[in-house]
Amino acid sequence: MNDDFLFSTKVKVRVSDLNYGGHVHHAQFFNYFHEVRIDYLKNLGFSEFDLGDGNGLIMVEEKANFKAEVFLGEELWVWTRISSIKRASFKMDYKITKENDPHSKPLSLGSSTFMIFDYNKRKPATVPKIFKEKVLSFEKNLAKEEA
């Protein structure tokens, strides 16, 4: 995973994020990923329910690697990017840091894979052209052949 992350959301660790060990519960990292994903899509003019053609996304896989403990009150930067786009799916990568710098030491790394889904017809759909165009315009390092 390289460090070409152009988008981040700042979050502050809340008491409800903690587990019995006094650090952030592992499942909470997926909530941080979700927050930055919503902000990223909104920044491009989309939502999880409408990627430009009325179709939304549905998660098919999500992973996280935990690199360090995170504690109450700490401010985190949750970075994301779209690292690949295929005909009917795309992948997002995540990186959580303590500094507002995507090159800084990661506290967690993760990824999610989504397929495009037509919620009216209840079946998979293709990646909308407008979504693909906006992502390629924003993600300068996303290889055109990936898309």
Residues 6+ apart with CB under 8 A from 26: 19, 64, 66
Instruction: State the DSSP code for 35.
Output: H
Q: Alpha-carbon distance 115 to 24, whole Å?
A: 29
Q: Which residue segments constitute the domains of the chain, with CATH numbers given? A: 7-138 (3.10.129.10)
Query: For 10-37, what is each residue's pLDDT tens digit?
Result: 999 999 999 999 999 999 999 999 999 9
Query: For 77-125, what is each residue's pLDDT tens digit?
Result: 999 999 999 999 999 999 999 999 999 999 999 999 999 999 999 999 9
